[in-house]
Chain A
Amino acid sequence: MSGERGVIIAGAAETDSVGRLPDHSTLQLHIEAAVNAVADAGLTMRDIDGIATVTTPGPVQVAHALGITPSWMDGTAVGGTSFLLHVRHAAAAIRAGYANTILITHGESGRSRVGAGGWPRGSSSIPGQFEAPYGTAGPTTAFTIPVLRYMKEYGLTHEQLAYVAVAQRKWASRNPRAMYRDLITVDDVLASRLVAYPFHLLECCLVTDGGGALIVTSAERAADFPKPAVHVLGTGESAETPMISQMVDFTESQAFRLAGRAAFAEAGITTADVRHMMIYDAFAHLPIYGLEALGFTAKGEAGPFIADGNTEPGGRLPLNTNGGGLSYTHTGMYGMFAIQEGVRQIRGEAPAQVQDAGISVILGNGGMFATAGVLVLGREPSRR
């Protein structure tokens, strides 16, 4: 932003491994990610004066475990995009002088459930009264509901939806850390078992264990770290609905659109400037809704855009280059891993490195089209 202090991501790392980690508690995943990110930035825990993470375990527990006494903290917990919001809030805190070096952590024993919190949804809550009685049982039964309406309105085919998983598996095949790396076909996807019609197993994200962490600080210190600085050029956040049934229009995400508009405006970019893209893919329809909400294609055209190969290796808009939640990893709150891949691409250290990834856009989803966060990351500082 013009005339204001720029903000960078100076450190970024995931846990030593991701996938099945029954020997790691949730807290240990936070700790391991934090230690790795602090080392990546060439810092020590003593340098950290701000912390952000979701509950559970929350910023107080993580800070205490790491021996950090924060002068600023953020416990925003609005689903898997929370970490994108933490980056946004950290940028504001750094500009305000509330903290100088902020640690953002994610750790989730999503698969093994070691030391994991529950997902309380009491029978007197609004979703407990007006959705749960109809047999919802987590995201596979609710996040998926809008897509039949989209298919009717815009002609998206079952094959095009399946192809999202095919395209992302091509990226995963180039990532040694990805849980699933064998190439698949549309027929493979459509032959996998039905989870919630029209969604098959291979159109649903993984459930894994893992974590990641970031160090956010002032761009004035950009030359002080061992890795190239990743500039936070623009950020956005929004919320739409706590219940999928109350989404304004089942064919588009209002929250995606509003968060994207804010981030692109702050960064002063258009879609033509974007060389790399991450869209939170809990299910195969998310990249379609995301591309359209951010204006990369017209409404109804993102399915064919992906099916035509534009987002896979060799395509003009590399998307979900770690393999995404569908093939790489998905702990439950995947947003941290989308940011990590954006950082790797900007730095030039991704397993499936994209040429000239000067600007990367990360679109995070929270809940089930409930919330959204967008980050515009760049190799160069803002020109504004």
Chain B
Amino acid sequence: MSAKAIPEPTPETQPFWDGCARGELLLQRCRECGKPYFYPRPICPECGSTNVEWFAASGRATLYSYVINHRPARGFEDDGPYAIAVVQLAEGPRMMTNITGIPNTPEDLVLDMELQVTFEQRGDISLPIFTPAGASQ
């Protein structure tokens, strides 16, 4: 487990990781044009405004696309083939993630299925991952 890559926050991303540690998925939103966005940075990619704010996302998402990787990255050797997925957050932005609580097979991972965020502890970091909506955590 410890050999898996661990994110190293920068000043601009620290609030995101602090939110994860509290069990919250934080996004940013432009105060000028209203656009929510991810990944964290202090400028709106839609209109260029630096007048942006953090907010707690719902944690709801749908499965946008994925692969099932058969050549594991460092630390994933004992996991078997695992999905590297991109989810569409209910608020609009997309993010890469893993899918837990369901077999990572083409039959079980159906595009557009509803998911919800959960968190995996990795070193000092709480990493947002996703699980089928309604699944017990």
Q: A residues touching B (Cβ–Cβ < 8 Å)?
A: 122-124, 126, 128-137, 140-142, 144-149, 152, 193-199, 243-246, 250
A128 B69 Cβ-Cβ under 8 A: no
Cα separation A141 to B65 with both chains bound (whole Å): 12
B57 proximal to A (CB < 8 A): no
How long is the Cα–Cα vector from A245 to B93 in the complex, in angstroms? 10
Residues of A within 8 A of B7 (CB): 123-124, 128-130, 132-133
Pair A137/B111 contact, Cβ less than 8 Å: no
CA distance A131 to B69 in the complex (A): 14
- 25 residue pairs bridging A and B, Cβ less than 8 Å apart: A124-B9, A131-B96, A132-B7, A133-B4, A133-B122, A133-B127, A134-B96, A134-B129, A135-B69, A137-B69, A137-B72, A137-B74, A141-B69, A142-B84, A144-B67, A147-B65, A194-B70, A196-B70, A196-B71, A196-B84, A197-B106, A198-B67, A244-B96, A245-B94, A246-B94
The answer to whether B98 and A135 touch across the interface, beta carbons within 8 angstroms, is yes
| A145-B67, A198-B67 known; A135 vs B72 contact (CB < 8 Å) | yes
* B54 CB to nearest chain A CB (Å): 16
B23 within 8 A of A: no
Which of B54-72 touch A at CB < 8 Å?
64-72
Cβ–Cβ contact A137 & B9, under 8 A: no
Q: Among the listed B13, B74, B86, which residue makes an inter-chain contact with A245, where contact means beta carbons less than 8 Å apart?
A: B86
**Residues of the A chain whose Cβ atoms lie less than 8 Å from the Cβ of B84:** 134-136, 141-142, 145, 196
B137 within 8 A of A: no
Q: What 6 pairs across the A-B complex have the smallest Cβ distances?
A: A137-B73, A149-B65, A197-B68, A124-B8, A129-B7, A245-B96
Shortest Cβ gap from B111 to chain A (Å): 5
Judge whether A130 and B96 touch: CB under 8 Å: yes
Within the complex, what minimum Cβ distance (angstroms) separates B96 from chain A? 4
Q: Using a CB–CB distance below 8 Å, which chain B residues touch chain A?
A: 4-10, 13, 39, 64-76, 79, 81-82, 84-86, 94-98, 106, 111-112, 122, 125, 127, 129
Contacts of B71 in A (CB 8 A): 137, 140-141, 195-196
CA distance A246 to B40 in the complex (A): 12
Q: A137 to nearest B CB, angstroms?
A: 4
CA distance A297 to B52 in the complex (A): 41
Known contacts: A130-B7, A243-B96. The answer to whether A135 contacts B66 by CB under 8 A is no
Q: A146's closest neighbor in chain B, by CB?
A: B65
